[in-house]
Amino acid sequence: MKDKILETSTDMFLTYGFKSVTMDDIAEKLGMSKKTIYAHFATKSKLVQASSSHLLDTISKGIDKVIEKNLNPVVENFEIKKFVNQHLKGEKTSPHFQLKKYYPKIFHNLINEQFNVLQSCVGENISRGIASGDYREDINIPFVCRIHFVGMMGVKDKNIFPVEHFSEKDLADMFLNYHLRAICTPKGLKNLEEYIQNEK
């Protein structure tokens, strides 16, 4: 029961926004009373916290599966981005913005957890890219991991990148293209160009 509540509420929060979805909405969707939900999650804040952690855990496991495919390091970046976008579907409702505005403590904790996940997978990707000759050998890995994280978080800022001018999907692609061109060797750039052409 608890898992069902968690999965349904996470889906609804991403679709309609953390602020917009009420406990009544979740109860109605599940066909149960709010009392049943409160038996597992005492407050909406606790449910938001659990849903955020559940989503991050799902994404983290999915990223691990992408990494297990042993793709070219350049291509791996885009495949991870595709997987993440499939799970963060609320471009119009901006769940990222709502979480930051209405649940700042949960948002702050989630950002720290996201950074740890990204630092690990990006660091491994860069190490493999250097070994394969796709990335430059002179890269400062901790610095590049942080730049990658700041960039991916930065393009979610609707004040800087308003939705009427920028598509969230296009922003992620543009950032990765920009980022990879800064760290790729000629070999890596060739793989990048081939991937972009194949995706058209």
> What structural domains does the chain harbor?
49-199 (1.10.357.10)
Give yes or no for residue 157 having a pLDDT over 90.
no
Q: How far apart are CA 94 and CA 66, in angstroms?
A: 25
Q: How confident is the model over 159-166, as a mean pLDDT?
A: 90
Q: Tell me what pLDDT residue 95 has.
A: 79
Q: Tell me what pLDDT residue 42 has.
A: 97
Residue 142 sits at the vertex; the CA angle it makes with 139 and 143, to the nearest 5 degrees, is: 70
85-89, 166-170, 196-200 — which one is most confidently predicted on average? 196-200
In which band, very low, low, confident or very high, does the pLDDT at 158 lie, cut at 50, 70 and 90?
confident
The answer to whether the Cα torsion of 22, 172, 106, 83 is positive or negative is positive
Q: Tell me what pLDDT residue 89 has.
A: 64
The two tokens of residue 67 are: 């990494």
Q: How confident is the model over 59-87, as a mean pLDDT?
A: 93
33-49 exposure pattern, b = at least 16 Cβ within 10 A, e = fewer: eeeebeeebeebeebbb
Q: How confident is the model over 79-107, as a mean pLDDT?
A: 82
Q: Tell me what pLDDT residue 93 has.
A: 58
Report the mean per-residue pLDDT for the chain.
93
Q: Tell me what pLDDT residue 167 has.
A: 84
The answer to whether the predicted template modeling score (pTM) of the entire model surpasses 0.85 is: yes
